[in-house]
C-alpha cells in the first residue's frame, strides 16, 4: 500500500516550489492527504541578558515572518488547488522549540516525509540540520530532495543500496509503497563480489521478494575502486537513469559517524537525485 499521509516540510518559497514538484505527483498517484508544514520562528529573548527590545522590533520581525509564510502558502495552493487529493497547509509557531522539533513531532503521524536538501544560505538557524533530526528521531521514511531539482516523477526506476542491516531492510520495505507497478529496481551491493553466490543469499532472497511484488529487480555488485559508497550510489543512479535512491540511514552511533564519517552524511552533503532515508 502506498502512502496515504505525506508531510512536506516547507522552509523557504524557493524550496517550496521544488518540493511541490515532487510531493504533488506522489500525492496524486497514491490518493494521499498532502500536508504542507511551515514553522514560524520564535523571537527568543534570554532572561539573563538585560536588554530592552522595542515593540517595533517585534512588529518588524512578525511581519517578515508573515510575509514569508504567505509566500510559501501561495505556492502550496498553486500546486494543489486543482488536484483531487486532499491538501492542507499548516502554519505552526516554533515558540520555545526549534523548527526541527516541530518537524519531528509532525513526522510521526505521516507515512512519508519530504524535505529539501540543507541550504546554509537560506535556512534559518532553527532549521539547520533538520533533515538529520527528522531521519533519526521521526521514525518515518524521509525523502530529501536536491535544491533546484527538476527531474522525473518518483517510482518508475529505483536504486536500492543494500547491506544486510536492519536499516537497509527497513528502507527496502518502505520503498515498496512508492514503486510503480512493474518498476525497474536495481538492488546494489557495494563491495567485493562473493566467490560463492549462495553466500549472498540475503540479497538474492530480497530480489526475489521484490519480483513477487511485480517489480523488475536486478541484483548487482560493484567494487568501489577507491570511491565512497555514496559516490558509487550517485554514479550508478546516473548510469541507470534512476529517479530515486533508497538507503538505510545512520546505522552507526553518532560518535562513529563523527569520527569515521558515514554514507548517510555523505549523501546528505552531495546528492544528485532524491534519496529516501529509513532509520
The four Cα atoms 154, 33, 174, 231 give a dihedral, to 10 degrees, of: 40
Task: Give domain status of residue 246, yes or no.
Answer: yes
The CATH number assigned to the domain holding 164 equals 3.40.50.620
- Higher local confidence (pLDDT), 122 or 108: 108
Task: Give domain status of residue 150, yes or no.
Answer: no
Statement to judge: residues 82 and 131 lie in one domain:
yes
How many domains are there within the chain?
2
Band of pLDDT at residue 196, cut at 50, 70 and 90: low
Q: Is the pLDDT score of 252 beyond 80?
A: no
Q: Is the pLDDT score of 277 beyond 90?
A: yes
Task: Give domain status of residue 201, yes or no.
Answer: yes
Statement to judge: residues 105 and 198 lie in one domain:
no
E strand map for the chain: 5-9, 33-40, 87-93, 112-116, 142-145, 157-161, 184-190, 216-222, 244-248, 275-278
Task: Give domain status of residue 41, yes or no.
Answer: yes
Statement to judge: residues 161 and 133 lie in one domain:
no
Query: What pLDDT is recorded for position 89?
Result: 97
In our burial notation (b when 16+ CB lie closer than 10 A, e otherwise), range 156-195 reads ebbbbbbbeeebbbbbbebbbebbbeebbbbbbbbeeeee
Statement to judge: residues 9 and 124 lie in one domain:
yes
Q: Residue 7 has which C-alpha cell?
A: 508531510
Band of pLDDT at residue 260, cut at 50, 70 and 90: very low
Q: What is the mean pLDDT of the chain?
A: 86
Statement to judge: residues 130 and 20 lie in one domain:
yes
Q: Is the pLDDT score of 55 beyond 60?
A: no
Statement to judge: residues 234 and 198 lie in one domain:
yes
Averaged pLDDT, 58-86: 86
Q: Residue 128 sits in which domain range?
A: 5-145
Task: Give domain status of residue 187, yes or no.
Answer: yes
* Cα distances (Å, whole numbers) of residue 197 to 178, 204, 219, 221: 29, 9, 11, 11
What confidence tens digit (pLDDT) does each residue in 14-54 have? 899 999 999 999 999 999 999 999 998 765 444 444 455 55
Statement to judge: residues 224 and 126 lie in one domain:
no
What confidence tens digit (pLDDT) does each residue in 176-192 have? 999 999 999 999 998 76
**Among residues of the chain, what percentage have pLDDT more than 90?**
61
Averaged pLDDT, 78-89: 96
Averaged pLDDT, 139-167: 94
Query: What pLDDT is recorded for position 127?
Result: 78
Instruction: List Cβ<8 Å contacts ≥24 apart for 251-254.
Output: 251/165, 251/166, 251/167, 251/168
Dist. CA 247–CA 227, nearest whole Å: 17
Amino acid at each position: 500500500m502506498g502512502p496515504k499521509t505525506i508531510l512536506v516540510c516547507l522552509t523557504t518559497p524557493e524550496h517550496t516550489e521544488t518540493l511541490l514538484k515532487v510531493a504533488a505527483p506522489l500525492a496524486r498517484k497514491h490518493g494521499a492527504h498532502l500536508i504542507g508544514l511551515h514553522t514560524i520562528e520564535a523571537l527568543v529573548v534570554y532572561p539573563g541578558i538585560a536588554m530592552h527590545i522595542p515593540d517595533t522590533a517585534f512588529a518588524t520581525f512578525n511581519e517578515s515572518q508573515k510575509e514569508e509564510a504567505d509566500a510559501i502558502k501561495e505556492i502550496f495552493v498553486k500546486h494543489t488547488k486543482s488536484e483531487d487529493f486532499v491538501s492542507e497547509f499548516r502554519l505552526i509557531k516554533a515558540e520555545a522549540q526549534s523548527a526541527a522539533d516541530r518537524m519531528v513531532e509532525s513526522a510521526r503521524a505521516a507515512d512519508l516525509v519530504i524535505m529539501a536538501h540543507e541550504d546554509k544560505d537560506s535556512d534559518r538557524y532553527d532549521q539547520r540540520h533538520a533533515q538529520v533530526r527528522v531521519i533519526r528521531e521521526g521514525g518515518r521514511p524521509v525523502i530529501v530532495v536536491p535544491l533546484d531539482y527538476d527531474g522525473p516523477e518518483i517510482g518508475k526506476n529505483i536504486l536500492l543500496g543494500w547491506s544486510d542491516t536492519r536499516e537497509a531492510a527497513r528502507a527496502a520495505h518502505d520503498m515498496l509503497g512508492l514503486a510503480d507497478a512493474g518498476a525497474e529496481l536495481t538492488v546494489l551491493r557495494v563491495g567485493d563480489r562473493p566467490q560463492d553466490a549462495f553466500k549472498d543469499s540475503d540479497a538474492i532472497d530480497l530480489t526475489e521478494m521484490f519480483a513477487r511484488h511485480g517489480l523488475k529487480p536486478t541484483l548487482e555488485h560493484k567494487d568501489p575502486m577507491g570511491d565512497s559508497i555514496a559516490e558509487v550510489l550517485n554514479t550508478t543512479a546516473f548510469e541507470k537513469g534512476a529517479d530515486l535512491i533508497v538507503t538505510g540511514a545512520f546505522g552507526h552511533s553518532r560518535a562513529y559517524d563523527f569520527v569515521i564519517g558515514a554514507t548517510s552524511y555523505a549523501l546528505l552533503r552531495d546528492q544528485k537525485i532524491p534519496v529516501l532515508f529509513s532509520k
